[in-house]
Structure 1
């Protein structure tokens, strides 16, 4: 069997689902003694986690600015130096540059698509239409991403395959044990009903909508509290909104910390995004047996079965989200049923081992295809 060497290329190593997924994937492949190198464009907290594995790690930069000629020359040289049998790219910018360099170095390229293409904007979609065909494999993290790719009429449906995100529930709980957080540390009481959300403070996560709905919940259920774990450009605006809504003392903003230790505090997890693939934060919350409420613009959800392992409500429907959260507060027996089913869902369908195995097979077949 041919020896596999994977070069991972990612736009960012900041805090995010795709970044966490890459670190977990690299760590698992490292345990299997698969040779790897990682190239990143924007540094972040995940750099140290990868550096601890003692694998080649490259920060890709241009001479004057990103994506200038020297940027591509340096990337070309990195690939020629490492001689990977395939390139695995994640996030939009990394996907584009990997497709280009893959052609010049004759290296198979596997592009992973984490977001719906209607989130990319006109310019990015135009670039995709010109370059997607250069990839050897196109992998979507969810069926929802596949559906949006069908708007590219030039791209045959069978070109896009699905490998669903997965997590190591045992590892997630072990990380939580290293980060013990109490209600009192946050100024809350054990009797408070904690609603939690995890994700970047950006428009897509729709936290402004969540705060609006939570204000209604807090008015009717004064023991309710909200924890937002994340950080990002909308933080100041969201804090100001909490003040305007009169819920400042009922909302806790947790900035720049890992979420693992906070899941145990949640009585209910909420994902208020207008659009989302298979969220790592959602999978992690479910692995702790948290009852979840998700908003979506789609009719169905790939992880949540409405009324079984959580609740699905239409995106931006304030009344629907209010009613779902009200059920979680008022009907603990329903919440308990969702909690039990959530844990089983992760163990059955969204394990890291399953995801890693599928990528490992893909690396092998992509590599031998060019022999």
Structure 2
């Protein structure tokens, strides 16, 4: 009699994120979770409740899109109830589960939860924000904690070097490029938005899509754009996103006399209309890893003007109309904006081709899946770290 067929157990992953909005890292987590599910992985997206916010955008977006999503309770900066709830999810996921964290808070809870409920620990570094003393402290604590993880994923060469310098064995550090669900440009939505904002059809439209926070350096962008706006009255700058600096940026725009040449659109659900409207994406960040907004703009063929930080130079090396400026150099940014304002709209076909060939969500998910499968055959050597 033939032995009954046996089947390998389905890989289970828990994607864990503590989120303050729906920004680049959050959209990467959504794309990864969706890609893993398409690949046959049993993946659940766990969001840690942000007790300072009324809404939970990542969890709400994931639930509405049909993800297997769960909101973990969290009532303060450290909540043992969160640890208990996460440990229960790890137990339910079964032996060999992968717990994949995507920020320092979720990494902390993942490490605590796996003290009693073992699982393989993976963390993706989406970039460090160190604009204040408390944020620098969090970054140092995170680096110390991550030495205890089975695998760390960096999205830029700078991150790899920093992890190794912090004492993480190089064998545990992996570089996996970010991937995206390709945006679909919406010409009709762009026309409606143009009419709504009163932007003339011949205007040169710049767009900054980012969290309005210090590391994005948007105050310098407004200062660099002000003389350009005076010289090119048809130039318009759209700031898409929200964050703690919105009030101060709005006041600065008023002080600079920018009037209707700068528009604050807040968080926007329909990025297809934004990408169909703007002529150039501008990202003057002081620090980045591999920003999804750059990949999205490239996938739409939109020229990108950005600081030469993180892996942005590597991405724009594949663009025809990309423009790098030194981080924090207002004069260089002003010159680049003035030159771009004088040009008609251009489509960056090489950038579009590169982004779509190399940075799809499914390709990213396949690389993560390969890492997960390799970890399943290993013991938790990081526990001895």
TM norm structure 1: 0.89
CA distance in 2, matches of 1:189, 1:160: 49
Find the residue that maps to 1:282 and give its secondary structure: helix
Counterpart position of 1:99: 111
Query: Structure 2 matches for 1:128-143, cutoff 5 A?
Result: 128-143=142-157
* TM-superposition CA deviations, 1:200-249 (whole Å, max 9, x none): 11111111010001101101111111001101111111111111000021
Does the CA contact (< 8 Å) of 1:230 and 1:257 recur in 2?
A: yes
Q: Is 2:320 the counterpart of 1:313?
A: no
Counterpart position of 1:279: 291
Q: Is 2:23 the counterpart of 1:16?
A: yes
Deviation of residue 65 (structure 1)? 2.1
Q: Is 2:260 the counterpart of 1:249?
A: yes
The one of 137, 145, 167 equivalent to 1:123 is 137
Unaligned runs of at least 5 residues, structure 1: none
Distance change >3 Å, CA 48–CA 98, structure 1 → 2 = same
Find the residue that maps to 1:139 and give its secondary structure: strand
Find the residue that maps to 1:10 and give its secondary structure: strand
Deviation of residue 285 (structure 1)? 1.0
Deviation of residue 55 (structure 1)? 5.1
Find the residue that maps to 1:321 and give its secondary structure: helix
Deviation of residue 95 (structure 1)? 1.7
Count of matched residue positions in the alignment of Structure 1 and Structure 2: 363
CA distance in 2, matches of 1:80, 1:179: 46
Does the CA contact (< 8 Å) of 2:217 and 2:284 recur in 1?
A: yes
The one of 348, 360, 364 equivalent to 2:373 is 364
Distance change >3 Å, CA 340–CA 26, structure 1 → 2 = same
Deviation of residue 25 (structure 1)? 1.6
CA distance in 2, matches of 1:279, 1:288: 15
CA distance in 1, matches of 2:65, 2:246: 33
TM norm structure 2: 0.86
Find the residue that maps to 1:308 and give its secondary structure: coil
Q: Is 2:273 the counterpart of 1:266?
A: no
Unaligned runs of at least 5 residues, structure 2: 1-7, 381-385
The one of 192, 199, 207 equivalent to 1:188 is 199
The one of 40, 53, 62 equivalent to 2:47 is 40
Find the residue that maps to 2:314 and give its secondary structure: coil
Does the CA contact (< 8 Å) of 2:319 and 2:348 recur in 1?
A: no
* TM-superposition CA deviations, 1:86-143 (whole Å, max 9, x none): 1111112112221332343110011111113756834223423432122111001222
Find the residue that maps to 1:50 and give its secondary structure: helix
Query: Structure 2 matches for 1:325-340, cutoff 5 A?
Result: 325-332=337-344, 336=346, 339-340=348-349
Q: Is 2:167 the counterpart of 1:165?
A: no
Find the residue that maps to 1:369 and give its secondary structure: coil
Counterpart position of 2:363: 354
Q: Is 2:105 the counterpart of 1:112?
A: no
The one of 59, 84, 107 equivalent to 1:73 is 84
Which 4+ stretches in 1 moved above 6 angstroms? none
CA distance in 1, matches of 2:25, 2:143: 22
Q: Is 2:161 the counterpart of 1:147?
A: yes
Deviation of residue 257 (structure 1)? 1.4
Does the CA contact (< 8 Å) of 1:117 and 1:148 recur in 2?
A: no
